[in-house]
Amino acid sequence: MMDWTVARLAGELRARKVSPVEVAKDYLGRIAKHESLGAFLATDEAVTIEQAKAAEKRIASGDAAPLLGVPIAHKDIFVTADFPSTAGSKMLSGYRSPFDATVVAKLAEAGCVTLGKLNCDEFAMGSSNENSAFAAVKNPWDTSRIPGGSSGGSAAAVAASLAPAVTGTDTGGSIRQPASFCNVTGIKPTYGRASRYGMIAFASSLDQAGPMARTAEDCALLLSAMCGPDPDRDSTSLDMPAEDFSRSLNGSLEGLRIGLPREFFGEGLAPDVRAAIDAALKEYEKLGAKLVEVSLPRTELAIPVYYVIAPAEASSNLSRFDGVKFGHRAAQHGDLLDMYKKTRAEGFGDEVKRRIMIGAYVLSHGYYDAYYLQAQKIRRMIADDFQQAFGQCDVIAGPAAPSVAWKLGEHGNDPLADYLADIFTLPGSLAGLPGMSHPCGFGEGGMPVGLQLLGNYFTEAKLLNAAHRFQQATDFHLRKPEGF
């Protein structure tokens, strides 16, 4: 059962060949067995079994919700009423929300059963999941390596079969990069497709929720349940009705124009990753696609632009964590200002403090025009580059990351090394485009490599179909790490 996809599991549950309670108990047992992986931050067997029993009653009544009884786990950046919500930070240690995030509520309505909350980089800031205040997550393919970040707990949970489906968030690549490193499939929809209500904010103009699972078909089922307008609670939510992305699967790839940005295949791309990507692109050609060279000339500017805009928004969003109403408060302090200082010094980790300081600096008087305003202008130019490229192709393909997963602690005190690992995912995030990563091969040390697909706005179905057809022709996505 642990090898079943979400699609198969949902079918078996609807046919009453297995029960939601049985499935939930099996997964909870497996989570406990592999606790050392660090993927989960919180579980509650009583809550999970109660939800599973409710799903069982719905199935017995004839309810045909597509995900009824399917277990899921949520990245700890989504608030949940029944589980603690910490965002991987000491600042929110033990915090319990009075409500569920919209994405959590939508998946519950579709019938999903929550297994627990997943580890992540603190406030989703990181590319390795080593920035969590509680534990660094390990990659199931090699437990001496990182799983990617910030949705590293999510990717590791799927790779190790601790959950058949999970939620993640992608600000600068935090679904696509860990999906690549852990040999799972993950998709970030167009910005605004999924509500951000109840998602603890990092950078509000970039954060977007998305699913991760073993296959593109599974991601299509999950994304269909997650998306939809939420105008009363999220002003950035798009006024677009929910869409059944699974309906577009199995379409022909004959004549599909796949754009290959020359900037994605130059210096800095590891030879083993390049070899896996090239082999995957040849497979796409066999399926009828045509490869077209395109250019995204401002790719190298994506890193400095992102690390001006995202920290600026983070410094604003994280100002609410001051020890007054909720979260951590310093035990020893003097006046109010001293409480603020000590609370934030104790509650935030090094990477969060670094980004808050950068953000406060670029927004300060005298620097706003020189940094933040200029970064926003270049962001618009990066989006324009994509529109020019999409005039020549239907989807864009390339690596999700320049290398396979690195060793835990390898980047040590060099945050720039982590930042550079996002070079291929940041441009799409800055433009608000949908993007995904699917397994496409293996590199150095037998570590997974993911192929990134980027589409124009609202073309999630096209991306999912392309990945699905590739997965019908290959078996990379079915391969599992030894011991799991």
Residue 248 annotated to the active site: no
Cα distance between residue 91 and residue 87, in whole Å: 9
Residue 91, CA distances (Å) to 74, 96, 252, 343 in order: 19, 13, 49, 8
* Three-point CA angle 292, 293, 295, nearest 5°: 135
* Short-list 434, 67, 16, CA closest to 244: 67
Cα distance between residue 178 and residue 171, in whole Å: 13
* Three-point CA angle 185, 7, 187, nearest 5°: 25
- Give the Cβ contact number of residue 64 at 10 Å: 9
Residue 476, CA distances (Å) to 1, 14, 105, 149, 269 in order: 19, 28, 32, 21, 21
* Short-list 424, 433, 309, CA closest to 378: 309
Contact 246, 224 (CB under 8 A): yes
Residues 361, 365, 367, 371: what is their CA dihedral angle, to the nearest 10 degrees? 80
Residue 154 annotated to the active site: no
Helix (H, G, I), strand (E, B) or coil at 311: helix
Residue that the structure tokens 């670094």 belong to: 354
Residue 439: which residues within 8 A CB-CB, separation 6 or more? 183, 184, 185, 448, 449, 450, 451, 476, 477, 479
For 381, the token pair is 């130019």
Strand partners, 210: 168
The CB-side HSE value for 222 (13 A sphere, CA atoms) comes to 34
Report cis status (omega within 30 of 0) of the bond before 132.
no
Position 78: which residue type?
A: F
Cα distance between residue 436 and residue 212, in whole Å: 10
Catalytic one of 85, 97, 154, 174: 174
* Short-list 369, 473, 400, 381, CA closest to 127: 400
Residue 174 annotated to the active site: yes
For 40, the token pair is 């989960």
Residue 5, CA distances (Å) to 59, 440, 457 in order: 19, 18, 28
Catalytic one of 19, 75, 106, 180: 75
Catalytic one of 19, 97, 150, 151: 150
* Short-list 471, 452, 481, 446, CA closest to 162: 481
For 445, the token pair is 């040390």
List active site positions: 75, 150, 174
